[in-house]
Amino acid sequence: MTPLPYTRLGRTGLQVSRLALGTMQFGWTADRATSFAVLDAYREAGGNLLDTADIYSRWADGNEGGVSEEILGAWLAERGCRNEMVVATKVRGRMGEGPNDEGLSRSHILDAVDASLRRLGVDHLDLYQTHFFDANTPIDETLRALDDLVRVGKVRYIGCSNYPAWRLVESLWTSDKHDLARFACLQPHYNLAHRSEFERELADVCERYGIGVIPYSPLAGGFLTGKYRANADLPDGARAQRIHDRYLDDRGIALIEALDEVAAAHATTLPRAALAWLLARPVVTAPIVGANTVAQLADLLPATELTLTEEAIQRLDEVSAWREA
Ligand SMILES: NC(=O)c1ccc[n+]([C@@H]2O[C@H](COP(=O)([O-])OP(=O)(O)OC[C@H]3O[C@@H](n4cnc5c(N)ncnc54)[C@H](OP(=O)(O)O)[C@@H]3O)[C@@H](O)[C@H]2O)c1
């Protein structure tokens, strides 16, 4: 396989690979040794954009959060490759029981960044993202705190995730008005089975203002790999029942049938076809793939070499359409 191609993150000068690697599964559904192996395979393929979050995976029994950052930090140290990598993490989720142990206040951000730097074993973050909207904190307070982190060198770029379009525009306006660091990218939930949230308004905002787009769950948590089928056994995995119940309806079944056809016509696999559909959208910078094994990752990486025909894109557009005619 040829190495992953690179592109700019939004309008910044930062070069990132066209597939990012998500690390939510590290220390949850992938143990440390497997996580290291997945990271090694991604790096060997030329990948440089690693996405984590302080809260990963606090929802799992016995997991206090911070585990994904710790595993990633241990790998960076052991391989001595920190400077090759674009390390992205997030702040916002609850990390303790106190009233200020979550959110996007100045107080929590300044505490959380030091905790993330410590767990990752690095002196700066390449990208620091607000994980989701905090209605209790004024946007200028959040941006001022993030701007301070950029100015002291703890953070190089800032981004946001799960923001509604109006909040993203309000953020850009606030940065402009007060001369503060500006969100370079958005991390939205976006894939063939979940289009409207991003496409309704956010896509236009990102295009218009040069915001990089790094979609999460690009395979709908594994649904778009085609392993969830009607009348078939549920695949193994901690998320399997939830994914089955969420996507395997008439619409989901029709989507998988279309992906079957498109994958066959291009002599490729379903997840590659699903990723190639995202990669073909000019607004998309780099989908963030999750992989529990090296084999899963190896199956996904060639997606950047796949160009779908216009006919195939149209077929997938139509079967997953959400706008009313
Ligand atoms: N900002 C946010 O709010 C947010 C939310 C969610 C995720 N994220 C980020 O996005 C990343 C990716 O999210 P995601 O895990 O939902 O992504 P995804 O790419 O939609 O799903 C990944 C899952 O699909 C399955 N899979 C992957 N490749 C496969 C293959 N070749 N064959 C069969 N199954 C395969 C695996 O699950 P099984 O082995 O269990 O089937 C894998 O864990 C996360 O790690 C995290 O960094 C961010």
Tens of pLDDT, residue by residue over 2-43, are: 899 999 999 999 999 999 999 999 998 899 999 999 999 999
Q: Please tell me the residue having the least CA distance from ligand 1 atom 14.
A: 217
Which residues are known catalytic residues? 56
Which strand ranges, in their side-by-side order, compose the sheet holding 20-22? 212-213, 183-187, 155-161, 125-130, 86-91, 49-51, 20-22, 288-289
Q: Which domains are seen in the chain, by residue range?
A: 8-319 (3.20.20.100)
79-130 pLDDT per residue, tens: 999 999 999 999 999 999 999 999 999 999 999 999 999 999 999 999 999 9
Q: Please tell me the residue having the least CA distance from ligand 1 atom 13.
A: 217
CA separation for the pair 12, 5 (Å, rounded): 17
C-alpha 241 – ligand 1 centre gap (Å): 15
C-alpha 292 – ligand 1 centre gap (Å): 8
The pTM is what?
0.97
State yes or no: pLDDT of 325 exceeds 60: no
Pocket probe for ligand 1: among 186, 219, 293, the residue whose CB has the most ligand atoms within 8 Å is: 219
Q: Please tell me the residue having the least CA distance from ligand 1 atom 22.
A: 290
Is the beta carbon of 296 within 6 A of some atom in ligand 1? yes
**Best CA proximity match to 47, nearest among 89, 90, 77, 5:** 5
Report percent pLDDT > 90 for the chain: 93
The helix/strand/coil state of 14 is coil
State yes or no: pLDDT of 313 exceeds 80: yes
Looking from the CA of residue 295, the nearest atom of ligand 1 is 31
